[in-house]
Structure 1
Amino acid sequence: MIPITDANNTQTCLLVIDMQNASFSPEFPCYDTVGVLERINAITDLSRKKGIPVILVQHNGSTQNEYVPMTTDWELLPDLIVEKTDILLEKTANDVFYNTDLETGLKAVNITNLIITGAATEFCVDSSVQSALTKDFNVLIVDDAHTTADKPHLSGEQITKHYNWVWSNLTPTKGKIEIKSCETILKELA
């Protein structure tokens, strides 16, 4: 498992990407929304107890007139448990690192390990995973804590399974990439 801390005092951070109302609209329901949300809540709870920072990412799509800040669509899902200690990060592109201070902030406090969850698998989650690898972070993807809606050619379930396979076969840079279930990660963190 990617360590919480090691001899080099590296740290782990949990990213929860775009768990916003607009990502879970009734006309485009996401695969296993209830289960994914329960698993994200479980892993954020244990992360907080272990001192792992939780960053909740919210997409700001003002330029596309979607996910507009301070609207219902932009808000985090009401069943997503949010604590005062959580860090809120706004992004304007699929990649959480694009035009944000995330990389600088993580490296300033010696965080090199990222646990990644959220929505949408093939857009913001994948872009963020790929970007984190090019920035030499160790990446741990919670294989059953990311989701997306059905597309004309694939179901949301097929997309999440496909990306779990893709990520498990990526060539990492200096960091490493792992894909594990929430249950496995919770046991390892406990």
Structure 2
Amino acid sequence: MNITKLENPALVLIDIQKGFNDVSYWGGDRNNINAEQKAGELLEIWRAKKLPIFHIQHCSSNPNSILNETNPGNEFQDVVKPIEGETIIKKNVNSAFIGTNLKELLDDAKITNLVIVGLTTDHCVSTTTRMAGNFGYSTYLVADATATFNKKGISGEDFSAETIHQTALASLNEEFAQVVTSDFIKEIV
């Protein structure tokens, strides 16, 4: 199979923040323990190739949230910590496009290809991916560089983090994005 190289793809790193290391806060279990490492590997490739990078940072408006800017959990994890010159987009809702200038920055730079990684698959990653697809970007969601936590169902049933992750990916694939692996992305960048 011939793989076409992406032209000027932007790496969008969503909410890879220290607060997500507190697994008990988010539900007690998570999947893809190496997701942040995979995201970090892609970030190093983007840096080496001088491709566009957008760090998304969730800044909860709830002062008690682990992701509020006054709490240490708001900080980026070291494996993907932004360096000078890299764009940081702060948001306080699930989508990186709402209340931010992300779309304007992408459009001004004539970026049409997005590679999305981050936390959590079923919340901010999903919402941002859906909007990216609706805005017409060619969007690649990296399954092994995203992760989520277990959830309680509406009737109290337990859903594993892996089930939540896989159903979120299934809902996005081939409608809003192409769901791929980090190895696939490494071949087309």
- TM-score, normalized by the shorter chain, greater than 0.5: yes
Identity %: 21
- Range 159-168 or range 121-130, more displaced: 159-168
Question: Which residue of 1 is the match for residue 114 of structure 2?
Answer: 114
Aligned to 2:56: 57
Q: Which runs of 5+ in 1 are unaligned?
A: 6-10
**Whole-angstrom distance in 2 between the partners of 1:39 and 1:12:** 17
TM-score, structure 1 as length reference: 0.85
Cα displacement string for residues 15-68 of structure 1 (whole angstroms, at most 9, x for unaligned residues): 1101112223141343123x1111101111111222211111110112464222
TM-score, normalization: structure 2? 0.86
Q: Please say if 1:24 is aligned against 2:21.
A: yes
For residues 154-185 of structure 1, what are the alpha-carbon distances to aligned partners after superposition, in whole Å with 9 as ceiling and x for unaligned?
Answer: 21111222222222242x5xxxx311110121
Residue-by-residue CA offset, 1:130-154 (whole Å, 9 max, x unaligned): 1111111110111111101111232
* 2:184 is equivalent to residue 188 of structure 1: no
Q: CA deviation at 1:85?
A: 3.2
Partners of 1:156 and 1:121 in 2: how far apart? 10
CA RMSD between the two structures: 1.8
Q: Would the alpha carbon gap of residues 156 and 22 (structure 1) be closer, same or farther in structure 2, given more than 3 Å must change? A: same
Query: Aligned residue pairs: how many?
Result: 178
Unaligned runs of 5+ in 2: 153-157
Q: Does 1:15 align with 2:12?
A: yes
Tell me if the contact between 2:143 and 2:181 (Cα under 8 Å) persists in the aligned partners: yes
8 Å contact 1:36–1:147 — kept in the other structure? yes
